[in-house]
Amino acid sequence: MKVTRTIAGVMLFVLLFFSCSPERHAKNNHDLSKGTPVNAFATDVRKIEASKVCMVNDKYMNTDQIAIEVDGKIYYGCCQACINTIRDNQASHMAKDPQTNEQVDKATAFIVVEPGSKDEVLYFKSLENAQKYFSRHYNGG
């Protein structure tokens, strides 16, 4: 009985460890050119679909992720380990708006791909915050 539990525990650990591995992410098509276009200029900031973001790894995945409902809000994860994190760790629901440094709920955030990155995302409280941020950081303002 003790051996069975040990084996089961090791198998569970291995499953969780490898379920969210870089190889798993490499299988997803992260090619932003096939998704919603994102422009970093303040006059043309475009929100990406939350359903295409792993909200644990904060990565744009360019494919629909697994929806997880928590307290009436929908979050998205790419694998079982991310689902567990979203369900069990309320801190994973929040991000810092880079314009204001305010905490923003990822379920309601204005999400964009970070300029110069293929898949890193930024969470903003609003379109206006995103426009101000990009105007200040990318348009010489």
Task: Tell me the whole-structure pTM to 2 decimals.
Answer: 0.71
Question: Which of 56-60, 77-81, 93-97, 133-137 is least confident?
Answer: 133-137
Q: How far apart, in whole angstroms, are the C-alpha atoms of residue 56 and residue 119?
A: 13
**What is the per-residue pLDDT across 26-80, written as a single tens digit (0 to 9) for each?**
444 444 444 444 444 444 678 999 999 999 999 999 999 999 999 999 999 999 9
In 53-94, which residue ranges form alpha helices assigned H by DSSP? 80-88
Q: What is the mean pLDDT of the chain?
A: 80
Contacts of 51 (CB under 8 A, 6+ apart): 64, 65, 67, 76
pLDDT band at 137 (very low <50, low <70, confident <90, very high): confident
Tokens of residue 50, six digits? 């939350």
